[in-house]
Chain A
């Protein structure tokens, strides 16, 4: 594995420069004397010339071409799979438990009347990003003014990166956030049997842009934690100081269940059965009852107020 001489970030095959700090690798030293040479075609030994029409060096006699070494932008592929630690039976049990804990607005018979339609394992694509970054920011904070409603806040902080940046097309951003962290210490290079793995589907350049976007989102979230309350116009500049990226496929169970002929989707973390992300039906009667109760309460309060005015 090649690393940058300046920031120690990993250089991948085809990188002409460090992706973090742009340092090029050292070039070979030259000799001590001034000399000249003529480049010759390896096929016919004629002198070569760079051609602006072909953007490469071609032999004017036999047409042989010398390709230049340019920065490559290959498609991203998974380097390892993270295995499941939650079994199929445990995932179904987890779904049943989750359906029973959906709260007051869920139908009373949700857990009993629901039927698991399909369940299958999937490995979703993500970049596991570690390293460090330094963020500089400025934002408006509500309530920070003296007479004005808004006031300013600025600052700078270091951040150790430990992020999952999704490459998945199958999960929403909210589902990824709700799934949370994975233990990626144990991985395997071979595909998990009978588990479809998601394709990354982007080039390296796009991947790096997405990763940087993920780091910036993380810094924005940190600014929100540093200044409690309502923020607006938050601007962050992030400087990566080290970056290490792994392209992994992370395990989930995707379940579809039916409740009274309606289908709902649920995703269960492949390593933590208690992490269940999905949708469930609402009981229209319970929702209606709460609305009626609220209206009755408002009417009672207004009546009491009117009575109080009359008595006074």
Chain B
């Protein structure tokens, strides 16, 4: 899908409004009014049914990102802890809230211990052995509220790192819920999110099915799953996007923040200086240990 622009008249001042194909709520450059664009239905792209409103302000988000930068991995460059937030921008991202029935079959080996006398080299001892049974069953279970990104700009993997959203605060979609805030139209239709959806289904089903396996020990657990008759509801979720600058000569890093909970995610750079120093120190310690052991015939 290409981001073709079209021109509409601002409904506040009549000025020309450039609207990208994915822009849902463009702001008029002439009067600053928030317009809401209505488009005809497109096949495979359900209209928004729900919205989760922003509750985090820009200032709160900046503080949250600063706090996150202090807690990143040891291997991150030291300068990353003094980052500057740039291009901070809120956006309502489109995602599919999927529910449906998952059918399939699970199987495993269930082990039960028992005590038995064993004779080895003429000596009889009481030993514990495991009796294994093949178990499994067909199943049909319902999955609710799997959230899959329908956005072109934020991948499903990134959205997963921002979850969970409190779906108890779900509101029915209305233009009033997003007016004045940038919002994106769905860019991925329901068929094109199949792979991501099945990954989420598998992740959701595994602990539930594994819990059904009987036995004192469980081994060789496998399962198949097919999502039957899924219902897709489009939901607009609040996300703050920003670029963070941490070094004058290094590329900026994109950071995303959950606009409802403040959960932060981003790709943290690695300090190759720290990694090299650690490797050199490790090698030096190893060489020292070998030298010490080789002295006075300690190393045979």
Q: A residues touching B (Cβ–Cβ < 8 Å)?
A: 6, 16-17, 21-24, 27, 29-39, 47-50, 52-53, 55-57, 66, 68-71, 134, 136-140, 145-156, 233, 235, 237, 239-240
Sample of 19 further A-B pairs with CB below 8 A, known A52-B54, A156-B138, A235-B211: A16-B170, A24-B49, A27-B48, A30-B38, A35-B38, A38-B33, A38-B36, A39-B179, A47-B34, A48-B176, A48-B180, A69-B174, A136-B140, A145-B112, A149-B114, A153-B214, A154-B212, A237-B141, A237-B208
Contact in complex: B53, A34 (CB < 8 Å): no
The residue among A24, A31, A32, A145 with the most chain B CB atoms within 10 A of its own CB is A24
Residues on the A chain within 8 Å of B51, using CB: 68
- Taken together as a complex, chains A and B put the C-alpha atoms of A21 and B170 apart, in Å, by 16
Instruction: Flag if A22 contacts B145 (CB, 8 Å).
Output: yes
Q: Which residues of B contact A240 (CB under 8 A)?
A: 142
Cβ of B53 and Cβ of A36 under 8 Å apart? no
A239 vs B143: C-alpha distance in the bound complex, in angstroms? Answer: 9
Q: List 7 contacting pairs A-B, 8 Å CB cutoff, sorted by A.
A: A31-B40, A39-B36, A68-B51, A69-B174, A138-B212, A145-B112, A150-B112
> A68–B51 Cα gap in the complex (Å)?
10
Decide yes or no: A21 and B177 within 8 Å by CB, A34-B6, A154-B136, A155-B137 being known contacts.
Answer: no
Chain A nearest CB, measured from B56 CB (Å)? 7
| Closest 10 pairs (CB-CB, A-B) | A49-B180, A22-B99, A148-B112, A52-B54, A152-B214, A68-B171, A148-B114, A138-B212, A38-B11, A69-B172
Bound state CA distance, A153 and B177, in angstroms?
A: 51
Complex Cα–Cα for A89 and B18 (A): 83
B35: chain A residues within 8 A (beta carbon): 36-38
Binary interface encoding of chain B residues 168-184 relative to chain A, with 1 for a CB under 8 A from any of its CBs, else 0: 11111111111111000
- Cβ contact within 8 Å between A152 and B11: no
Q: Is the CB of A68 within 8 A of B116?
A: no
**Closest residue of chain B to A47, judged by CB?**
B33
Contact between chains at B112 and A52 (CB < 8 Å)? no
Q: Indicate if the CB atoms of B139 and A53 lie closer than 8 Å.
A: no
Q: Cβ of B8: which chain A residues have Cβ within 8 Å of it?
A: 34-36
Q: Does B101 contact A (CB under 8 A)?
A: yes
Q: Give the shortest distance, in Å, between B197 (CB) and chain A (any CB).
A: 15
Number of A-B contacts (CB under 8 A): 197
Instruction: Please give the distance in Å from A51's CB to the nearest CB on chain B.
Output: 9
If A34-B40, A52-B57, A68-B53 touch, whether A237 touches B212 (CB-CB below 8 Å) is yes
- A149 with B112: CB separation less than 8 A: yes
B275 close to A (CB within 8 Å): no
Mask, B189-218, CB within 8 Å of A = 1, is 000000000000000000010011111100
Taking A37-B38, A136-B137, A153-B214 as contacts, is the C-beta distance between A147 and B177 under 8 angstroms?
no
**Is B163's beta carbon under 8 Å from chain A?**
no
- Distance (whole angstroms) from the CB of B210 to the closest CB of chain A: 10
* Alpha-carbon separation in the docked complex, A51 to B209 (Å): 43
Instruction: Name the distance in Å between A222's Cβ and chain B's nearest Cβ.
Output: 15
Cα distance A240–B99 in the bound complex, in angstroms:
13
Chain A residues near B155 (CB-CB < 8 A): none
Select from chain B the residue with minimum beta-carbon distance to A158.
B140
- Chain B residues within 8 Å of A69, by CB: 171-172, 174
Binary interface encoding of chain B residues 84-128 relative to chain A, with 1 for a CB under 8 A from any of its CBs, else 0? 000000000000010101000000001011101000000000000
Q: How far is the CA of A61 from the CA of B17 in the complex (A)?
A: 24
Q: Quick one: which of B116, B139, B177 contacts A136, CB cutoff 8 A?
A: B139
Contact of A21 among B36, B174, B231 (CB under 8 A): B231
A145 x B131 contact (CB < 8 A): yes
Q: Which residue of A lies closest to B32 (CB)?
A: A47
Q: A38-B35, A146-B131 are in contact. Are A154 and B99 (CB under 8 A)?
A: no
Contact B38 A31 (CB under 8 A): yes
Cβ of A172 to closest chain B Cβ, rounded Å: 30
Kindly state whether residue B12 has any CB partner on chain A within 8 Å: yes
Check if A138 sits within 8 Å of B214, measured CB to CB. Answer: yes
Beta-carbon contact of B40 and A138 below 8 Å: no
Which residues of the partner chain B approach A155 to less than 8 Å between Cβ atoms? Answer: 137
Most buried by A among B57, B101, B176, B229: B176
Would you call B36 and A154 a contact (CB within 8 A)?
no
Complexed CA–CA distance, A56 and B53 (Å): 8
Complex-state Cα separation, A50 to B35, whole angstroms: 12
User: CA of A256 to CA of B92 in the docked complex: distance in angstroms?
Assistant: 63
Picked from A37, A66, A154, A239, the residue with its CB within 8 Å of the CB of B135 is: A154
Looking at the complex, which one of A36, A50, A239 makes contact with B10 (CB distance below 8 Å)?
Answer: A36
- Complex alpha-carbon distance, A226 and B115, angstroms: 29
Residues in A whose Cβ lies below 8 Å from that of B176: 39, 48, 50, 57, 66, 68
Given contacts A33-B40, A155-B137, contact A50 B213 (CB under 8 A): no
Q: Complex Cα distance A65/B40, Å?
A: 29
Bound complex: CA A156 to CA B170 (Å): 34
